[in-house]
Amino acid sequence: MPLQVIIVGAGLAGLASGIALRKQGHIVNIYEKSKFTTEIGAAISLSPNANRVLAGLGWDIKRVNVASHHATKSFLSDAQEGGPAMVNGTNCQDVYEHPMCMAHRADIHKELARLATDMDGIGPPCTIHLGSGVIHCDVAKGSVTLSDQSVVRGDLVIGADGINSFMREHVLGQKIDPQPSGLGAYRVVIPFEEIANNPELSYISDDPDTVVFVRGKEITKYIVFYPCRGRELLNIVAVHQDKRRGTVSDLSNISAPSTMEAFLDSFSDYAPRYLELVKLSKKVVLWPLLIWDELPTWTNGRTCILGDAAHAMFPILGQGISMGLEDVAALGALFPPDTPSDFETISSRLRLWESIRKPRVTKIQSISNRMGRGLPGITVSGELETEIYGYDAEREARMALEASQSSGEPTVENSPRTQLDVPPQLLASL
Ligand SMILES: Cc1cc2nc3c(=O)[nH]c(=O)nc-3n(C[C@H](O)[C@H](O)[C@H](O)COP(=O)(O)OP(=O)(O)OC[C@H]3O[C@@H](n4cnc5c(N)ncnc54)[C@H](O)[C@@H]3O)c2cc1C
């Protein structure tokens, strides 16, 4: 019998979870509070470990109009002329068999929604219920109450409801939310045409398929930009001290409107050629960078949280959605078509999933969040690059399930833990 799966949230991790579980033959209903009338978000970089998961979900990269990435460049904020101070990059397709690329969140979302609901896909198509916010969850029974007061019950409930998750409190039995770190990021997209038409911005248009960092004098300040939607748009993220005052709830709003003038003011110490870019910003959104420690658990009874709901992190390593997608691949592998629906099996599989995912994600989250703790950032290169980009989440989970089944139904105790080899000198400072 297929499992009845409830997913709360049709963001990137929620839709990907739907695809992974329909592929296993399960019946998936996804409840989403928004009606998706506007395009949400800017661009996201998809590293090889994310693209490995997406390929496994049947994703056709050509449908998403990604921008390819071949190098990362670093410029100094006071350099008005000249090229980058540092260039690095790996040919990820050759080394990891999956590319590094950049795409607009709305384009990724659209393709995941298509794959989740496609009548010709593997397994029963998911049903997405828009405008259906979840207002209560019984984690042991596997039931959720919707905003119209109706109650739906499943064998497995997945909270994929993002950084300001409602499901988190139900899974934890207490309220633990990420807090404003004092840092924020302006997010802007600019038509690439406008860049190409401006001679002052030739340092961008001469070599567009790159991720460019313009590092400020403080470790907590940088502008990063890269193309997306083919090369139609340039995506900008500008991290800085967020001087706003307000309640935690105001400061946790992930899409607060801002202005080009505020952006310009925060980066007034940057050389004119960078400010020329800032001046092209029309719609500026201010994302707060929220910070927290590892949660005590991600699972409870028949219910789990994943993606940003469980482990939102700073964007510096570009691993936020990648970690969510890895969660999804591992979860799909642990719930194959023959999975019994009794409480013991579901809850122990979820604990096995958590035991595989949490050590890896927590280390990557800790490295990503260093900046929020006033520590210098770490770039993804060398052994750390191999550990992050070379990881195959689905394979790890399949092996863990096989190992646990050969020694009895999976438990936290008998499941293997994955290791992320971070250099000891780095761990010492985490
Ligand atoms: C500045 C910045 C740059 C970033 N850059 C990158 C990058 O380069 N690479 C990367 O991998 N990641 C990046 N990220 C992180 C990435 O955007 C997130 O990790 C990712 O979008 C989270 O996906 P999610 O599905 O967990 O949550 P979301 O995409 O937030 O989806 C949650 C969904 O749940 C819905 N929802 C909420 N509450 C309810 C409810 N009660 N009932 C029903 N539905 C509900 C919401 O409406 C939403 O649709 C960046 C983040 C920031 C802040």
pLDDT digits (tens, 9 = 90+) for 195-216: 999 999 999 999 888 999 999 9
Rg (CA), the chain: 21
DSSP, collapsed to helix, strand or coil, labels residue 95 as helix
Residue for token pair 């979302």: 109
Q: Which atom of ligand 1 is nearest to the CA of 45?
A: 8
- Please say whether the beta carbons of 106 and 42 come within 8 A: no
Question: In this predicted structure, what is the pLDDT of residue 39?
Answer: 64
Cα first-last separation, the chain: 46
Query: How close is the Cα of 232 to the center of ligand 1, in Å?
Result: 23
Residue 97 DSSP class: S
Question: In this predicted structure, what is the pLDDT of residue 89?
Answer: 86
Query: How close is the Cα of 427 to the center of ligand 1, in Å?
Result: 27
Question: In this predicted structure, what is the pLDDT of residue 414?
Answer: 46
Q: Is 270 exposed, middle or buried (0-12, 13-18, 19+ CB in 10 A)?
A: buried
Question: Given ligand 1 and candidates 321, 322, 331, 364, which is best to mutate, with the most ligand atoms within 8 Å of its CB?
Answer: 321
Query: Shortest CA distance to 293 belongs to which of 372, 378, 350, 393?
Result: 372
Mean pLDDT across 40-59:
92
Question: In this predicted structure, what is the pLDDT of residue 249?
Answer: 81
In degrees, rounded to 5, the angle at the alpha carbon of residue 175 between the alpha carbons of residues 342 and 29 is 40
Query: How close is the Cα of 254 to the center of ligand 1, in Å?
Result: 9
Question: In this predicted structure, what is the pLDDT of residue 211?
Answer: 92
Mean pLDDT across 347-369:
97
Query: How close is the Cα of 38 to the center of ligand 1, in Å?
Result: 15
Mean pLDDT across 376-385:
88
Query: How close is the Cα of 12 to the center of ligand 1, in Å?
Result: 7
Question: In this predicted structure, what is the pLDDT of residue 273?
Answer: 96
Nearest CA to ligand 1 atom 38: 161
Question: Given ligand 1 and candidates 15, 17, 30, 33, which is best to mutate, with the most ligand atoms within 8 Å of its CB?
Answer: 33
State the number of CA atoms in the 13 A half-sphere of 413 facing the CB. 3
Which secondary structure element, helix H or strand E, spans residue 111, and what is its range? helix 105-117
Query: How close is the Cα of 358 to the center of ligand 1, in Å?
Result: 18
In degrees, rounded to 5, the angle at the alpha carbon of residue 345 between the alpha carbons of residues 342 and 350 is 125
Rounded CA gap, 400 and 411, in Å? 10
Q: Which fold has domain 180-291?
A: D-Amino Acid Oxidase; Chain A, domain 2 (3.30.9)
- Please say whether the beta carbons of 310 and 164 come within 8 A: no
Query: How close is the Cα of 242 to the center of ligand 1, in Å?
Result: 20
pLDDT digits (tens, 9 = 90+) for 232-282: 999 999 999 998 888 888 788 878 999 999 999 999 999 999 999 999 999
Question: In this predicted structure, what is the pLDDT of residue 271?
Answer: 97
Residue 409 DSSP class: S
What share of the chain has pLDDT > 90, as a percent? 79
Query: Residues lining ligand 1, judged by CB closer than 6 Å?
Result: 8-14, 31-34, 44-45, 133-134, 160-162, 166, 185, 187, 237, 287, 307-309, 315, 318-322, 324
Question: Given ligand 1 and candidates 308, 327, 368, which is best to mutate, with the most ligand atoms within 8 Å of its CB?
Answer: 308
Residue 296 DSSP class: S
Mean pLDDT across 171-187:
95
Nearest CA to ligand 1 atom 29: 11
Nearest CA to ligand 1 atom 45: 9
pLDDT digits (tens, 9 = 90+) for 383-423: 999 999 999 999 999 999 999 988 765 554 444 444 444 44
Query: How close is the Cα of 107 to the center of ligand 1, in Å?
Result: 14
CB atoms inside a 10 Å sphere around CB 84: 19
Rounded CA gap, 357 and 297, in Å? 11
Q: Which fold has domain 4-62+98-176+294-407?
A: FAD/NAD(P)-binding domain (3.50.50)
Given a cut of 80, is residue 428 above it in pLDDT? no
Question: In this predicted structure, what is the pLDDT of residue 415?
Answer: 44
Query: How close is the Cα of 82 to the center of ligand 1, in Å?
Result: 37
Question: In this predicted structure, what is the pLDDT of residue 204?
Answer: 93
Question: In this predicted structure, what is the pLDDT of residue 255?
Answer: 82
Mean pLDDT across 35-60:
88
Question: In this predicted structure, what is the pLDDT of residue 40?
Answer: 65
Question: In this predicted structure, what is the pLDDT of residue 378?
Answer: 85
Nearest CA to ligand 1 atom 42: 133
Query: How close is the Cα of 103 to the center of ligand 1, in Å?
Result: 14
Phi/psi of residue 115, each to 5°? -65, -35
Nearest CA to ligand 1 atom 13: 320
Q: Which atom of ligand 1 is nearest to the CA of 134?
A: 42
The pLDDT confidence band at residue 36, using thresholds 50, 70 and 90, is: confident
Question: In this predicted structure, what is the pLDDT of residue 420?
Answer: 46
Query: How close is the Cα of 128 to the center of ligand 1, in Å?
Result: 17
Query: How close is the Cα of 163 to the center of ligand 1, in Å?
Result: 6
- Bridge partners (DSSP) of residue 164 are none
Query: How close is the Cα of 40 to the center of ligand 1, in Å?
Result: 10
* Full-model pTM: 0.92
Rounded CA gap, 121 and 416, in Å? 32
Rounded CA gap, 180 and 177, in Å? 10
Phi/psi of residue 389, each to 5°? -75, -30
- Parse the chain into domains and list their residue ranges: 4-62+98-176+294-407, 180-291
pLDDT digits (tens, 9 = 90+) for 103-112: 999 999 999 9
Nearest CA to ligand 1 atom 15: 320
Q: Which atom of ligand 1 is nearest to the CA of 10?
A: 49
Given a cut of 50, is residue 74 above it in pLDDT? yes
Question: Given ligand 1 and candidates 161, 181, 220, 361, which is best to mutate, with the most ligand atoms within 8 Å of its CB?
Answer: 161
CA separation, residue 387 to residues 47, 126, 318, 363, 422 (Å): 12, 33, 14, 11, 8
As given in the structure block, the two tokens for residue 175 are 């309220």
Question: In this predicted structure, what is the pLDDT of residue 429?
Answer: 33
CA separation, residue 429 to residues 54, 299, 366 (Å): 33, 29, 10
